[in-house]
A and B are shown apart, each in its own frame.
Chain A
Amino acid sequence: MTTSTLNHVAYVLRGNLVTAAAAAGTALLIAVAILGPWITPYDPIASNVSIALQPPSFAHWAGTDQLGRDIASRIIAATRLDLLIAASAVSLSFVVGALIGSLCGYHGGRVDRWIGRVVDILMAFPLFVLAMAMVAALGNRVENIIYATALINLPFYIRFARAEVNVRRNLGWVEAARASGNSHFQVVTHFLLPNILPAMAVQISLNLGWAILNAAGLSFIGLGVQPPTPEWGIMVAEGARHITTGKWWLVAFPGLALMLAVLCFNLLGDGLRDILDPRMRT
């Protein structure tokens, strides 16, 4: 980061309070994820049936659930797991997708065509159902949610990286890199990938929000994370049974946490696009 870049970032943040707020929100989320176990007011999995289903109060400001567990504590404790799932899934699909996509875009030819066909097949699937089937196939574990979410994100990264590399591969500086003795693989990893990284950063940020929604959706239908582990999707699923009797806080607060997390990542992605590509600013 050079001074001019920092200045540009500061300029964009000053002019765009929404992005600044999103960045602050993301930082807060990460802080909560790290500090989670130390800042929960109650034990997130200790049940106490005598105070079950209590509405928000001073002692339990987000209320208690059907087992008398403090909802606020459970939301805080769940942050780490939810962010971890989303971040691992997105980084996995980013690393694999960017590598495959840029090699395809650089190399072209038959391999490129075959991988393109596989990507087409993947994209013709109903993606959420594919993730469901994968978690069911691999077993009901957290790491399998990560793999499933990574897989359904993969086609987008492959296509994106392929297109971005494809338009650059015949440019002068790529030829110069090749002429100065770099192997094809080095040209891709040392020159082309760093060059498309800014464009992909936007994709990553937008994708994080999507991955959170996806993972929460999977645990909402009972795949992946298992109770009593605190996780936003499970909390909503458990609260769903009580919504028709008016116990709104069981659903509303974990839902709010989900919404805020996704909102932060989405707004940050939009903001990043402004910072990295001033031409796209609208």
Chain B
Amino acid sequence: MTTLASISRRTGTRFVSSLPALLGVVVFTFILMRVLPGDPAVFFASGPNAGKAEIEEVRRLMGLDQPLLYQLALYLRDIATGNLGRSLTTGQPVLADIQQRLPASLELTFTALVLALTLALPLGIAAALNPGKLVDHAVRFACTLGVCVPTFVSGLLLIYAFYYLLGWAPDPTGRLDIFAQAPPRITGFLLIDSLIARDGTTGLAAASQLILPAATMALFVLAPLARMTRASMLAVLGSDFIRTADAMGLSRARVVGVYALRNAMLPVLTIAGIVFSTMLGANVLVEKVFSWPGVASYALDALLASDYAPVQGFVLLMASIFVVVNLTIDVLYGIADPRIGIE
């Protein structure tokens, strides 16, 4: 009970202390978006021949004729009431657009993270069990290569290999083939939705679209995960309780797989959290290569069309996810290692 209390207290303090950073992000984004070039009023007036009066009207409508501080205050009030503004390119409220597109990004990022972890954990453990041996060097080499290939290159080469050469993957655009019937939207995650609808064909189609972009991202984040697993496993394997467990005659598999791995997971957890939040923001490139209808490509399109509101909404969303992920990791840490709560 005391552990639980201390975890929630810690979480509370962390949450409160992350609020100023969140506010800073909001203000900074606001300023950044206001210095963007191009007058959006001109852009969104009826056309290049729009009259002066019409442009003034649009500007008034968008609140661009007000003082900057007043605009900021209005913006903060809007955020507090859950109003992220309206995207001028799609004509939808930004919040609705983001809700529509976030599941696509989350599904991609989660799959990539799971894929990366299932690869990285065995590789890291194998390297830690044979330090300095061939396996160790091979893993290190693979990791070093992985971070050197930009995602937009590896993604395109994967398309070449699996779509053009082998013909295994479907046309690499979007989440679902245009002829396929999307499952009824419940969670927005196509894999889960088609599972709920018991629609195996759609599920398979969605999975086959998902696998290449997810693999592209997984390759890029493999290195930090595998390296951290290796380092953390090495440290744990050298500790006293492992020697004791060995001396007690426990099987090697049990010592490594249960005693060592459980204790080595904490730093890996931290890195996995960081990787998750950076991937969500950095998958602009992957989403662009695979025409993935996620939030990052939404923000990019808006940015190129000098449409402020979606970019602001996106950055705010990313910063919030960052805070939430950090908090979640804190809580998980407290559960996984009760000693942390006591200090």
User: A residues engaging B (CB < 8 A)?
Assistant: 117-118, 120-121, 124-130, 132-134, 136-137, 139, 209, 213, 216-217, 220-222, 233, 236-237, 239-240, 243-246, 248, 251-252, 254-255, 258-260, 262-263, 266-267
Contact A128 B289 (CB under 8 A): no
Among residues of A, the one whose C-beta sits closest to the C-beta of B220 is A213
Contact A129 B315 (CB under 8 A): yes
Which chain B residues in 13-39 approach chain A with CB under 8 Å? 18, 20-22, 24-25, 28-29, 32-33, 35-37
Contact A137 B159 (CB under 8 A): no
CB of B288 within 8 Å of the partner chain: yes
Report the stretch among B92-100, B184-192, B274-282 that lies at the interface.
B274-282
Contact A209 B160 (CB under 8 A): no
Q: A125-B25, A125-B319, A133-B32 are in contact. Are A240 and B148 (CB under 8 A)?
A: no
Alpha-carbon separation in the docked complex, A258 to B24 (Å): 35
- Other-chain residue from A124, A126, A213, A245 in contact with B323 (beta carbon distance below 8 A): A124
- A118 → chain B closest CB, angstroms: 7
Main secondary structure, interface of B, reads helix
Q: Which residues of A contact B333 (CB under 8 A)?
A: none
Q: Which residues of A contact B280 (CB under 8 A)?
A: 126
Main secondary structure, interface of A, reads helix
Which chain B residues in 46-89 approach chain A with CB under 8 Å? none
- B149 → chain A closest CB, angstroms: 5
Among residues of B, the one whose C-beta sits closest to the C-beta of A265 is B148
Contact A255 B153 (CB under 8 A): yes
Contact B318 A251 (CB under 8 A): no
CB of B271 within 8 Å of the partner chain: no
CB of B338 within 8 Å of the partner chain: no
- A61 → chain B closest CB, angstroms: 19
Q: A217-B150, A255-B153 are in contact. Are A129 and B159 (CB under 8 A)?
A: no
CB of B292 within 8 Å of the partner chain: no
Alpha-carbon separation in the docked complex, A213 to B28 (Å): 25
15 contacts between A and B (CB under 8 A): A120-B21, A124-B323, A127-B282, A128-B284, A129-B299, A133-B303, A133-B311, A217-B285, A251-B160, A252-B160, A258-B150, A260-B148, A262-B147, A263-B148, A266-B148
Contact A259 B304 (CB under 8 A): no
CB of B145 within 8 Å of the partner chain: yes
Contact B314 A129 (CB under 8 A): yes
Which of A127, A220, A263 has the most chain B CB atoms inside 10 A of its CB? A220
Contact A220 B319 (CB under 8 A): no
A sample of 11 more A-B contacts (CB under 8 A), given A120-B24, A259-B148, is A121-B24, A124-B322, A126-B318, A220-B150, A236-B150, A240-B289, A244-B171, A246-B160, A255-B153, A258-B149, A266-B148
Which of A121, A128, A237, A267 has the most chain B CB atoms inside 10 A of its CB? A121
- Other-chain residue from A117, A126, A240, A246 in contact with B24 (beta carbon distance below 8 A): A117
Contact B148 A209 (CB under 8 A): yes
Contact B282 A136 (CB under 8 A): no
Contact B24 A213 (CB under 8 A): no
Among residues of A, the one whose C-beta sits closest to the C-beta of B311 is A133
Contact A244 B21 (CB under 8 A): no
- Other-chain residue from A126, A233, A248, A263 in contact with B144 (beta carbon distance below 8 A): A263
Alpha-carbon separation in the docked complex, A122 to B230 (Å): 30
Alpha-carbon separation in the docked complex, A41 to B296 (Å): 40
Among residues of B, the one whose C-beta sits closest to the C-beta of A260 is B148
Alpha-carbon separation in the docked complex, A240 to B160 (Å): 10
CB of B156 within 8 Å of the partner chain: yes
Q: A139-B37, A263-B145, A266-B144 are in contact. Are A255 and B150 (CB under 8 A)?
A: yes
Q: A129-B314, A221-B300 are in contact. Are A121 and B149 (CB under 8 A)?
A: no
Contact A258 B37 (CB under 8 A): no
CB of B157 within 8 Å of the partner chain: yes
Contact A244 B172 (CB under 8 A): yes
- B307 → chain A closest CB, angstroms: 11
Alpha-carbon separation in the docked complex, A188 to B61 (Å): 53
Alpha-carbon separation in the docked complex, A161 to B289 (Å): 37
Q: Which residues of B contact A132 (CB under 8 A)?
A: 284, 300, 303
CB of B163 within 8 Å of the partner chain: yes
Alpha-carbon separation in the docked complex, A125 to B278 (Å): 9
- A107 → chain B closest CB, angstroms: 22
Alpha-carbon separation in the docked complex, A216 to B280 (Å): 19
